[in-house]
Amino acid sequence: MDPSNLRFAETHEWANLDGDLCTIGISDFAVQQLTDIVYIELPHETDQVIAGESFGEIESVKAVSDLYAPVEGEVVAVNEKLLEDPARVTNDPYGKGWMIKVKVEPGTTLDHLKTYDQYKEQIAKEQH
């Protein structure tokens, strides 16, 4: 996926909405901050996620961080390959490193999330 077509949460998760299906992952910036990712905990299919609340954890050699849902809905797919090989997130955060797919209510938008340009401004400030 092209990051310029995604929306971003302030907590560094990205979201891509296609109809009523939202794919969620973490940004390349978040991956770089975490460095070596060693473990990922994700929800199960049929679990409900709530916007702004934790849906899992990501652990690196530096820290353990919560993953926050940018949207609300039912988890309909989990990237099980990340559980076996967390480095997939590091190698391809916007592609093979996706984490979950959430079925959202009809009419759901990502307008509450940052555009790629707005997100780049945010991370530029965080780096100083």
> How far apart are alpha carbons 57 and 63 in whole angstroms?
10
Q: What pLDDT was estimated at residue 128?
A: 65
Helices (H) and strands (E) in the chain, counts: 4, 9
Q: What pLDDT was estimated at residue 124?
A: 93
Q: What pLDDT was estimated at residue 95?
A: 95
Q: What pLDDT was estimated at residue 88?
A: 93
User: What is this structure's pTM?
Assistant: 0.95
32, 98 in Cβ contact below 8 A? no
How confident is the prediction along the chain (128 residues), in pLDDT tens digits per residue?
A: 899 999 999 999 999 999 999 999 999 999 999 988 999 999 999 999 999 999 999 999 888 999 999 999 999 999 999 999 999 999 999 999 999 999 999 999 999 999 999 999 999 998 76
Please give the sequence-ordered ranges of beta strands (E in DSSP) within 79-119, or none if there are none: 100-103
CA distances from 104 to 10, 44, 89, 94, 112 (A): 20, 16, 24, 20, 14
> How far apart are alpha carbons 68 and 125 in whole angstroms?
21
Q: What pLDDT was estimated at residue 109?
A: 95
Q: Identify the structural domains of the chain with CATH numbers, from first to last.
A: 3-105 (2.40.50.100)
Q: What pLDDT was estimated at residue 23?
A: 98
